[in-house]
């Protein structure tokens, strides 16, 4: 009977050990998948933000180009300013996502870009 009890206790300990190892492995895999998902969301937010900044800067260049002639076509300037304003709004929308998804360092960087953008907008 002692051998049967020892075998039963051994099987129980082995089962608990296997269960514990499976739990730890599952938690580690879940954490790894979550970290990957988080990185992907951050990456997507950063790409959208940088793309919006790029498009807005191109639109600002177009405004400056329209203002270059001695007698600029004011209708063309107004049209390009309207495009610039729309793209500036897209930058702000993309920045909001970065502020939610990004770490503190990114929040500070986006804040700096936002202040610089505000200064550019005052020029307009």
d(CA 35, CA 116): 32
Q: Which of 25, 22, 37, 45 is nearest to 102 (CA)?
A: 45
Integer Rg of the chain from CA: 29
Give the pLDDT of residue 56: 92
d(CA 77, CA 65): 9
Name 60's Cβ contacts closer than 8 Å, sequence gap at least 6.
Answer: 84, 120
The 10s digit of each residue's pLDDT in 30-89 is 888 888 988 999 999 999 999 999 999 999 999 999 999 999 999 999 999 999 999 999
Which is more confident, 81 or 122? 81
Average pLDDT over every residue of 10-21: 80
pLDDT band with cut points at 50, 70 and 90 for residue 124: low
Q: What distances in angstroms separate CA 15 from CA 1, 2, 82, 85, one per listed residue?
A: 21, 20, 69, 65
Average pLDDT over every residue of 7-32: 81
1 pLDDT higher than 70: no
């Amino acid at each position: 009977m002692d051998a049967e009890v020892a075998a039963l206790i051994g099987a129980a300990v082995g089962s608990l050990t296997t269960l514990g190892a499976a739990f730890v492995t599952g938690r580690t895999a879940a954490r790894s998948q979550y970290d990957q998902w988080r990185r992907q969301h951050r990456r997507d937010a950063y790409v959208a933000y940088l793309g919006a900044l790029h498009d807005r800067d191109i639109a600002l260049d177009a405004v400056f180009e329209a203002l270059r002639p001695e007698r600029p076509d004011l209708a063309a300037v107004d049209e390009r300013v309207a495009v610039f304003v729309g793209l500036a709004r897209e930058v702000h929308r993309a920045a909001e996502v970065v502020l939610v998804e990004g770490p503190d360092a990114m929040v500070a960087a986006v804040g700096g870009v936002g202040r610089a953008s505000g200064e550019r907008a005052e020029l307009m």
